[in-house]
Structure 1
């Protein structure tokens, strides 16, 4: 398995900047924006086969889970190897803290200080009668780990949490039965309860009740989940098209740029959106735009396909199909959509790079302004699809 990254790279999260020799000018824009999928490298001598990626705004954490398990960091003020991570089984990164899980404990380390002890730690008591797969961060026995102190937050045992996705302001939880619960800030409809109010405690998303879900993801102000049948449901803020629904903000930006082009007579090199489609004869010219979607909405992906997994950045979304294709949409000013352009999109579009290279995408992880995709060769797909 290989990992590729694209999008925001100002701190070297995707590849390390190469300083230009004296007297030569460097292409700073190229270093900051990576619009074409670029293969990642790691400093340690290991295979990518069992590597997991987690990302924050300025950092990327690569966890090697086979053999001498450990975590490597790339990005802002980051060491290549986290010396306290040997033996860890999972990792979770925010802008300020790196949380590590070991067989007997959980530790959160302050990334902004050089210290020899974690900022917080908790002992894990083994429970031999526990059934089901092990919990993944940010879930831990009895609760979850937040991005800032207090780190440990308890969860009611009746929820039977299966997975949890956190943004800076809200959370979305998937239970073992496939029910979805949300809580936190609700100002942009990101909780999916039909209003803009916040919730202090987990509350079931009633619009999805009775439809078991298999995956959940949280962006900065939007949420996404996948049904057992591979359907995609979206809700929250859509100003940058991150829901894959028509966005007035993107269309207005396109009109402004089109006007500037017409006035200057020069092509626009960094357009926000691709050219709009001309209405066909008999079609209505009026469009319905979505700024906030307070209830979950079914998102159609063309051509029709089943979604396997999904991840959200700050204002963009990426989804992997069961056939191994990667679709992205939303804000794209740093190339985080992977379409080898700086376009933003308000509808899902397949990243053609991987198909052209005869690669199948098996996983995707979004940072705030970038995207990381795990791929295998097309002939290996059958081994990873089950």
Structure 2
């Protein structure tokens, strides 16, 4: 096993474990399941679907699993030669050296190309989707938004209502909705145009990620910064919601409740919204190399090839063999115990996909 992909989390449409003939999908997968045994494959996920981009010597093509699996044959034939892909609930975005295409996949029997933008092959750079020459792609109409070339963007990620752009100089910009502090500017206000993240000024950033309402960035030194909504502990900071859940479980059937003074003391450290980037420390980890955000969970790969996850785990998307949530980054022991080194991680909304290689 030179390289492969595993997945865990929400499987209501068979996007992780195929649905057996005449059976029903196993909705929750809390232990990593083997998806693809190929070192030349990339995986992208949405809520109900998964797209596998197979890079071959002569051509590349996309295969779909889950809600859109009925359209995989059509998409595979039309995606030959594509260099990158993104998937959402309704659309599949395909990037080629000379164009970008968007396919509607909401109804497999009526899959069709609905949008196309051509560009010169010389305009194509090494940036991945949703960045494209001249701007970026949104998974809703209007699909294309312009972006100033002066920003020199090298990486762009999209949350449900906000965007983060990393520049060639390692600077970070954000824009869109700031209702949960996901822009990182210290307030809950929104910005229509890109605004530099002043709190990280002078901190060169290597990679960024965006969840529905939270954001993450990793510096060139491997430090992890997070900000935005923390209702499920997705920032790796103390969460009131998770603590209250623990108390209800602990005191169920017990009339004795903590005193007001003790309650107030603990509530002082809870963080519901973190509007400025906060440095998140993971015990026994010196450097983060990869980061990805789901709807309300986060996954990080260390320089040592270990995977840590935290946040909402209701569907097993944390990979710890349970459906528990946590506001503390925890090691996914499955890969260590099977002598696998994690090389990449990609979060769907309620799922997690992990690329590994064997240490043997």
TM-score, reference length from structure 1: 0.85
Which residue, out of 7, 11, 14, partners 1:12? 14
1:18-57 to structure 2, matched below 5 A, reads 18=20, 31-41=26-36, 48-57=38-47
Contact 2:105/2:112, CA 8 A, preserved across alignment:
no
Contact 2:5/2:356, CA 8 A, preserved across alignment:
yes
**Number of the residue aligned with 1:125:** 120
Distance 1:32 1:112 in 2: 20
Which residue, out of 323, 326, 351, partners 1:345? 326
Paired residue secondary structure (2:241):
helix
Which residue, out of 339, 363, 369, partners 2:344? 363
Shift of the alpha carbon at 1:135?
1.6
Shift of the alpha carbon at 1:123?
0.7
Q: Is 1:229–2:221 an aligned residue pair?
A: yes
Shift of the alpha carbon at 1:85?
0.8
Which residue, out of 146, 156, 159, partners 1:164? 156
Can you list the C-alpha shifts for 1:253-310, whole angstroms capped at 9, x where unaligned?
11112233769xxxxxxxxxxxxxxxxxxxx867500000000000001013200010
Paired residue secondary structure (2:141):
coil
Aligned length: 344
**Number of the residue aligned with 1:69:** 60
Paired residue secondary structure (2:78):
coil
1:294-333 to structure 2, matched below 5 A, reads 294-333=275-314
Contact 1:147/1:168, CA 8 A, preserved across alignment:
no
- Provide the alpha-carbon RMSD of the alignment: 1.8
Which moves more between the two structures, 151-160 or 112-121?
A: 112-121
Can you list the C-alpha shifts for 1:322-356, whole angstroms capped at 9, x where unaligned?
10000000000000000001110101111000000
Shift of the alpha carbon at 1:17?
2.1
Q: Is 1:111–2:105 an aligned residue pair?
A: yes
Paired residue secondary structure (1:119):
strand
TM-score, reference length from structure 2: 0.91
In structure 2, do the counterparts of structure 1 residues 262 and 335 end up closer, same or farther at CA, with 3 Å as the change threshold? Answer: farther
**Number of the residue aligned with 2:79:** 85
Distance 2:278 2:167 in 1: 20
**Number of the residue aligned with 1:209:** 201
In structure 2, do the counterparts of structure 1 residues 262 and 14 end up closer, same or farther at CA, with 3 Å as the change threshold? Answer: farther
Paired residue secondary structure (1:317):
strand
**Number of the residue aligned with 2:93:** 99
Runs of 5+ consecutive residues of structure 2 not aligned to the other structure: 256-264
Distance 2:313 2:34 in 1: 19
Distance 1:366 1:102 in 2: 24
Paired residue secondary structure (1:260):
coil
Q: Is 1:155–2:142 an aligned residue pair?
A: no
1:249-328 to structure 2, matched below 5 A, reads 249-260=241-252, 288-328=269-309
In structure 2, do the counterparts of structure 1 residues 192 and 285 end up closer, same or farther at CA, with 3 Å as the change threshold? Answer: closer
Runs of 5+ consecutive residues of structure 1 not aligned to the other structure: 42-46, 264-283, 380-386
Can you list the C-alpha shifts for 1:83-142, whole angstroms capped at 9, x where unaligned?
3111111101111110101121110011124557521101121337x8xx6121000001
Which moves more between the two structures, 95-104 or 317-326?
A: 95-104
Paired residue secondary structure (1:10):
coil
Which structure is higher in strand share? Answer: 2
